[in-house]
Structure 1
């Protein structure tokens, strides 16, 4: 099916992540000129640890390709929504950047169907990436036998960030992860009794969706959760009802002013001790580092209760748009972000782990060493909130339903909306 770009632009305006794929490495003219004099790279990495990660990549790029000028087209503000809207406008006007940031996975569907991005399968073959990226990642990058993006990293989304002092003061061992959601809720009640007003911190809409996906994974298990996206698990399943009930209980221990606040606000609540827990991806690691906190002493992490042995996956990736004016420069950029040197520099700054299997775990601090081992050993599932599991339009419907639920706490209405969204997305 082919979608009009106008529809793609409309999806981007919702503020959800709409991303593109990459270019055909054996045909530079298909993606525009082979000019490698410069590369304009479009991201929303304009501040904090994200900008630090980008800066680290650019430093390696400048060393590897000193004759290609890097042009930073980052767009700040709106938690990425400003950038996504600007990108959609540029693509609609057939004025693409040379490469743009994406999330790997189903989120790329709309750009692929709109024929705004190129197949990078030959790029993978020419640069040996099929040999250094794991099959669990390659499977999630492949659409109808083709690969459309180059990941710079792998993030984990089922991580609880824990303030050790807050738990210790309440008589809870911070290093012993609760066995399941019931045990976690019991600990939150202990924290309440100890005077912690907000045991669990949340922020803007996508963080609330991420929390919900964690609950779904915990209750349904890997197969049941993944079945939601192909229809083998229905959203009217009784286990989804149970997940909504657990989600309701978790929100009762959370701050009520999260909507409209970006994720660092919720993470900072754990850092400063006004909250005990925050469910956040491992980009939060850089936030703790920036505040001078020590892993294992000031804070610790564990998988969201009930998800141990599962790795909730997402990846930042980059693309080669159709008509990129400096396709040669874009290919140089893609080579840097997929290189061992580029991935190490980027991930040490951002808190994620390298996509390459030949990375040396000893080059990374304790948390990332554990995440590298978990990705290799655990059952990998695709993140809903971060575009790996579903296309943008479906995520849009789920986010709207979660947003309404946070206000109304009407579980039946939420489940009905989730059923409708699944039926619409799968054409049932």
Structure 2
């Protein structure tokens, strides 16, 4: 048409031709221009916004870009407090019918609450298409399912009950750096020795890390069955045995740094790496932080928890009303792939969720954790949303903060635990 218009402008003879075709030209000029193809994008919501966790997410995104180069990844990560800030933002978005295309969730009670609220699309068809259930250990499949229906694709799993130590600090205190601390009481004695040497025995951080520490004390003192019983009704949270465990928790807090509430977990790990503290208790996501500091920390199960694997499962969902469900499914397929699981686990410090991954592709720590997971009793994490729901966890976290600030008694903390456990 543009060329015909040019000839009309240059030649009067073209006038008759244009007049004869007037109707056709009018119709052509009225037709809309072809629409530009919509951009393919996927908005992924996580709390992996900084440090080693962001680097691990970046590694996962690189695999996604290789598998789905036509889709743009949109990072909607929110930093802070082991996901507490992100979960607040997510709750607001979901309440306002503004879901991301997919969001990170912890398997277990946290996931179940989203399902009960009708926020998630079930993933039965995707699991069937990928034959994913066949490649997931029972504990992981249970964590991402509600009433036998899968609602999330696990990206990795973590062991929460890990004690990290700086061997030089222990040696300087006159302790054997290779000691295993067979019992919780053996460890308490070692902490007292470090304290006498002038170093911080146990580095902890803000309140959620203190809940993480409480979780390990309960597990060490009650054992896997007694600990799990707190959440399924098999153990009385008001018992004298629990009272004694909470008293042990109070003793542990006495060996920690006074500025704990001003720190996050990475800061506590860095103090161990820098030789300012002997120990920190944190999940195996701390491994990349300690390794990147140029140190070679020792690790062992938290004393008293050997033979138990305190499980944290990270997973991704398909929200009801997701703006781009097709690209969200692309993301979920990448997350489920063996290549992505191995890359992500090695970068984040945990394990692939899938059994299809070869141990030869894993780092030294991951290989050890892999065999522990297959051999140990598996229990759900309290601090990371597996054992109790978000509202109960928030209330208990507040109570722990009040307690560690010296503003509540053991009896008051136990009353909060009773309430959180369904009291």
What TM-score do you get using the length of structure 2 for normalisation? 0.88
* Residue in 1 that maps onto 2:164: 161
Post-superposition shift, 1:81? 3.5
| Contact residue 205 and residue 260 of structure 1 kept, 8 A | no
Match of 2:283 among 276, 281, 284: 281
Post-superposition shift, 1:100? 0.7
Higher relative contact order (CA 8 A, sep 6+): 1
> How is 1:1-80 mapped onto 2 (pairs within 5 angstroms)?
37-77=40-80, 80=83
* Residue in 2 that maps onto 1:239: 241
| Contact residue 142 and residue 148 of structure 2 kept, 8 A | no
Distance in 1 separating the partners of 2:225 and 2:144: 19
Match of 2:134 among 108, 117, 131: 131
**Which whole-Å deviations, capped at 9, do the CAs of 1:287-306 have from their partners, x for residues lacking one?**
01221223xxxx20000000
* Residue in 2 that maps onto 1:361: 359
Match of 1:115 among 110, 113, 118: 118
**Which whole-Å deviations, capped at 9, do the CAs of 1:310-332 have from their partners, x for residues lacking one?**
00000111110001111110111
Q: Secondary structure at the match of 1:229?
A: helix
| Contact residue 36 and residue 329 of structure 1 kept, 8 A | no
| Contact residue 156 and residue 314 of structure 2 kept, 8 A | yes
Distance in 1 separating the partners of 2:42 and 2:345: 22
Instruction: Provide closer, same or farther for how the CA distance between residues 357 and 36 of structure 1 changes in structure 2, counting only shifts above 3 A.
Output: farther
> How is 1:403-422 mapped onto 2 (pairs within 5 angstroms)?
403-408=401-406, 410-422=409-421
Compute the RMSD of aligned alpha carbons.
Answer: 1.5
* Residue in 1 that maps onto 2:340: 342
Distance in 2 separating the partners of 1:145 and 1:130: 11
Query: Following superposition, which runs of at least 4 residues in structure 1 exceed 3 angstroms of deviation?
Result: 76-82
> How is 1:417-428 mapped onto 2 (pairs within 5 angstroms)?
417-424=416-423
**Which whole-Å deviations, capped at 9, do the CAs of 1:212-267 have from their partners, x for residues lacking one?**
01010111111110010011111111210111111111111111211131111111
* Residue in 1 that maps onto 2:222: 220
Distance in 2 separating the partners of 1:110 and 1:350: 26
Distance in 2 separating the partners of 1:79 and 1:154: 15
**Which whole-Å deviations, capped at 9, do the CAs of 1:114-152 have from their partners, x for residues lacking one?**
111111122112111111111121122221121111111
Post-superposition shift, 1:107? 0.9
| Contact residue 145 and residue 152 of structure 2 kept, 8 A | no
Distance in 1 separating the partners of 2:77 and 2:330: 18
Distance in 1 separating the partners of 2:49 and 2:398: 27
**Which whole-Å deviations, capped at 9, do the CAs of 1:75-116 have from their partners, x for residues lacking one?**
234653432222222211111111011111111232111111
| Contact residue 106 and residue 384 of structure 2 kept, 8 A | yes
Q: Secondary structure at the match of 1:152?
A: strand
| Contact residue 222 and residue 379 of structure 1 kept, 8 A | yes
Point out the more displaced range, 162-171 or 303-312. 162-171
Where structure 1 has 5 or more consecutive residues not aligned to the other structure, the ranges are 1-34
Aligned residues: 385
**Which whole-Å deviations, capped at 9, do the CAs of 1:149-181 have from their partners, x for residues lacking one?**
111100111000000001112221222211111
Distance in 1 separating the partners of 2:375 and 2:283: 19
Distance in 1 separating the partners of 2:422 and 2:119: 27
| Contact residue 45 and residue 75 of structure 1 kept, 8 A | yes
Match of 2:107 among 104, 107, 124: 104
| Contact residue 204 and residue 260 of structure 1 kept, 8 A | yes
Instruction: Provide closer, same or farther for how the CA distance between residues 103 and 246 of structure 1 changes in structure 2, counting only shifts above 3 A.
Output: same
> How is 1:172-211 mapped onto 2 (pairs within 5 angstroms)?
172-196=175-199, 198-211=200-213
Distance in 1 separating the partners of 2:315 and 2:383: 16
> How is 1:380-419 mapped onto 2 (pairs within 5 angstroms)?
380-408=378-406, 410-419=409-418
* Residue in 1 that maps onto 2:298: 300
Higher radius of gyration, 1 or 2: 2
| Contact residue 106 and residue 390 of structure 1 kept, 8 A | yes
Post-superposition shift, 1:354? 0.5
Distance in 2 separating the partners of 1:36 and 1:235: 53
Distance in 1 separating the partners of 2:212 and 2:82: 15
Post-superposition shift, 1:364? 1.9
* Residue in 2 that maps onto 1:309: 307
What TM-score do you get using the length of structure 1 for normalisation? 0.87
Q: Secondary structure at the match of 2:99?
A: coil
